[in-house]
Structure 1
Amino acid sequence: MVPTIDNVVAWTEHITIALYGSVPSMLRNMFVDFMEKNGHSKRVQKLKKASIDMLDLPWVDPENDTDCGIYVMRHMETFKGEYSGKWITGMKRNSKQQMRYMRVKYCAAIVGASSNLLKDNILSEAEKYCRLTNELGPINMEKILLRKLSLKT
């Protein structure tokens, strides 16, 4: 089985075909072709015949179609090949507070990354923001981002 993940829809075979058509199978076949062209043909024999199955996820939220990137980040962070009730993400259905926290977590990680070429500019702007709001001390990106997020909601 090739597990396929979507955070918005509880899956059935009919919904999968209606929404995605043959795309999941095409992606699998393209990956198989890539692996074979790069000398891994023995490793993909099972994959060639594997079914494409959508995972039934307890945190699926049909109302939340704006945080797909957050779900993707969390899925990449926690998915280790376990599924069928064994995959532990810590995610909850319909938790606005959790989504807010995760937006901050991933945003702070991206902004603060040493590979972020704009890090210094962003931190400088954050520092200006701190001064404007009379905050002194070291920059706490999570605190700043949480404040900004709470102003928007």
Structure 2
Amino acid sequence: MGIDVDLAARNNRLVRLLAVSLAWATLEILYQEKNRTGARIKKPTLAARSPFNERAVRLTAKANIVDRELYYWVLSTTTTNKDDVVYKDSFKETLHGEFQSLAPFKRVSPAIVDTWSSYLNNMEQLKAPETVSRLFFSTNPCKKTVVDAPTEWNAKQKLDTFWTRLFGEALGMSILQWETFDMIFFPIWGAAQEYVICFDLPDGKMNIIDHSFPEPDASVEAKYGKTPFLLKKFFSEALTRCKVPKMAAQVRKCRTHVVTMPWRNSNLIDEGRIYVMRHMETYFGESEKDWECGLGPSGTKSVEMFRIKYARTLLTCIYNTRGGDNQKKATRFWKEKPAKFKFENWVDLYGIE
């Protein structure tokens, strides 16, 4: 009987993941309309919501004109406009200067990943009712609590700091019903590693999603230390403090699972933060063989293109109240570019004097 239940659960998830929707086309229209008029966007109807990751940013071989305008503007004017707010939604504000970290070969800043988490939480409004419900936290709860904590801090100090940060974010995001979430994502931001831990409560797993290979025959603890264990402990205790004992028990029972995606590699260490962003965006709990995120084990060009696409997405998405102004500024700036300007060459040579 248990086997039949497990099989049915897997089949149900596969059906959800393989469903085809028109959500992306709808969202593209909303983007264009919002940036054209600056008008408020109506809440999407059920028919316009996506049962699959059609909400994900699409990778293309080349940047389109909007991509080029936004990327050229945001990187070229960082010095003069670094303190301008260019992203603002109901929870998060991000300054122009932070987008410099999306330049080629730069290490993406935690502020950009935190902005990405806020964007993804907003995008959950576009999910179809039958799709798993996901919640994304910023890098802040885990920073210097479950990873790279000060050596002088005791366990209570670490837990209290984690709880305070987590609860603060939950309040800011107006999370009142924790039980409505199936998957909870934490970007782990350490001095040596960046990866994602995702609690998949329906499957009873604490998934470690990391693009880098471990050393041969290395254990989970040898690669990740006490971080996964501490996060499970702290998160379950935080849920207990939030008066959600059933969910706290689910978290405590989650078994550790390292997701072995085919695009894992040990070559693109400095690009780990782009992998973190893409993994958070596209992971719905599917098996490794069914998960396609658009990245490859040696695809430096695809990582480079994601930097361009993610800059454009954050700067002009429908949840960013500065999106219309950003697009207007970028278009004006693009018109003033040098006569022989070649975007692809500019990207390839960016930062090289």
Band of TM-score, shorter chain: 0.7 to 0.9
Give 1:75's aligned amino acid.
Answer: H
Seen in structure 2, the aligned counterparts of structure 1 residues 67 and 58 have a Cα distance that, compared at 3 Å, is same
Seen in structure 2, the aligned counterparts of structure 1 residues 82 and 89 have a Cα distance that, compared at 3 Å, is same
Q: Is the 8 A contact 2:315 2:326 kept in 1?
A: no
Q: Is the 8 A contact 1:36 1:44 kept in 2?
A: yes
Q: 1:19 aligns with which of 223, 238, 241?
A: 223
Q: Is the 8 A contact 2:264 2:297 kept in 1?
A: yes
Q: How many positions carry a matched residue from both structures?
A: 145
User: Which residue of structure 2 aligns with residue 55 of structure 1?
Assistant: 259
**1:3-152 aligned within 5 A:** 3-10=207-214, 14-113=218-317, 115=320, 120=325, 124=329, 127-128=332-333, 130-134=335-339, 144=343, 146-152=344-350
CA distance in 2: counterparts of 1:16 and 1:131, whole angstroms: 52
Please say which of residues 80-89 and 100-109 is displaced more in the overlay: 80-89
SS state at 2:279 partner:
helix
Structure 1 length-normalised TM: 0.75
CA distance in 2: counterparts of 1:111 and 1:60, whole angstroms: 29
Cα offset for 1:118? 9.2
| Percent of aligned positions that are identical | 22
Seen in structure 2, the aligned counterparts of structure 1 residues 23 and 119 have a Cα distance that, compared at 3 Å, is farther
Structure 2 length-normalised TM: 0.36
CA distance in 1: counterparts of 2:273 and 2:280, whole angstroms: 10
Runs of 4+ in 1 over 4 A off after TM superposition: 10-13, 116-123
Cα offset for 1:18? 2.3
Structure 2: which 5+ residue stretches go unaligned?
1-204
Which structure is higher in helix share? 1
Cα offset for 1:48? 0.7
Q: Residue by residue, what CA displacement relative to the aligned partner does 1:102-150 show, whole Å, maximum 9, x if unpaired?
A: 1111011123346375984796467435423238xxxxxxx95x55322
Structure 1: which 5+ residue stretches go unaligned?
136-142
RMSD: 3.0
Cα offset for 1:2? 0.9
User: Which residue of structure 1 aligns with residue 75 of structure 2?
Assistant: none
Q: Is the 8 A contact 2:239 2:245 kept in 1?
A: yes
CA distance in 1: counterparts of 2:270 and 2:325, whole angstroms: 28
CA distance in 2: counterparts of 1:112 and 1:82, whole angstroms: 29
Seen in structure 2, the aligned counterparts of structure 1 residues 84 and 132 have a Cα distance that, compared at 3 Å, is closer
User: Which residue of structure 1 aligns with residue 184 of structure 2?
Assistant: none
SS state at 2:289 partner:
coil
Seen in structure 2, the aligned counterparts of structure 1 residues 9 and 131 have a Cα distance that, compared at 3 Å, is same
Seen in structure 2, the aligned counterparts of structure 1 residues 132 and 84 have a Cα distance that, compared at 3 Å, is closer
Q: Residue by residue, what CA displacement relative to the aligned partner does 1:38-57 show, whole Å, maximum 9, x if unpaired?
A: 12211232321222221111
